Chains A and B, each alone.
Chain A
Amino acid sequence: DAEITQSPRHKITETGRQVTLACHQTWNHNNMFWYRQDLGHGLRLIHYSYGVQDTNKGEVSDGYSVSRSNTEDLPLTLESAASSQTSVYFCASSERVGTEAFFGQGTRLTVV
């Protein structure tokens, strides 16, 4: 069965370190998204991609970057981790605009 997987599931890192969260999907979807989930804010879009070599900023993109070198993967990089980036991160993919998105299990990141 097709799926979308995130790794690691849990990560503790120190302030100032670079961190990369992996997202891999086997749906062959063009659209991929990164969200963060925080109490009181719901899900907020960080970055998204509509295909290989395409990346776009979401509403909370500062301090984050993504790259899309193939269809299956959209890694999220925190250039210099800050305590404000402690959150649960979700990756999602969808077939095309307007269709449902499929979510990974999430990565809980703690920055100390």
Chain B
Amino acid sequence: GDSVTQMEGPVTLSEEAFLTINCTYTATGYPSLFWYVQYPGEGLQLLLKATKADDKGSNKGFEATYRKETTSFHLEKGSVQVSDSAVYFCALSDRSTGANSKLTFGKGITLSVRP
């Protein structure tokens, strides 16, 4: 079945540091890939997405590239801010399995950014 593996957390960085959060996936077909972010006390919201190999999703300074050869979708940001402190989830939706498809999430990783 489909699965998403994220690096272990939590992660603590100083403001303006470079961020990488690793995500790899297993899917039987042709998944769309997503990064969701959850700010304290809130629901999840979409951060960025990519729907096919070599696509790059980007939003709010975050980027992730769909790498089919390494089955990865790592999240990066060049300079984090305190306001980026949140929980980040990698997810996939496998479009090829029709009615049996659904969103599958990784376990999430908590990012804390110090001033």
Contact = CB atoms under 8 A, between A and B. Distances in A.
Interface of A: 33, 35, 40-43, 45, 48, 50, 58, 90, 92, 94, 97-106
Interface of B: 31-32, 34, 36, 42-46, 49, 51, 89, 93-95, 98-99, 101-108
B104 to A, nearest CB: 8
Contact of A106 (B43, B101, B108): B43
B34 A100 contact: yes
A33 B108 contact: no
A42 B106 contact: yes
Contact of A97 (B101, B104, B105): B101
Nearest to A9: B41
Nearest to B93: A98
Given A48-B102, A99-B93, A105 B42 contact: yes
A99 B44 contact: no
B51 A43 contact: no
B44 A90 contact: yes
Contacts of A102: 46
A103 B43 contact: yes
B43 A90 contact: yes
Contacts of B49: 100
A98 B32 contact: yes
A41 B103 contact: no
Given A97-B95, A98-B32, A100-B46, A45 B102 contact: yes
B103 A40 contact: no
A58 B42 CA distance: 23
Nearest to A48: B102
B45 A42 contact: no
Contacts of A104: 43
A33 B103 contact: yes
Contacts of B101: 97-98
B93 A97 contact: yes
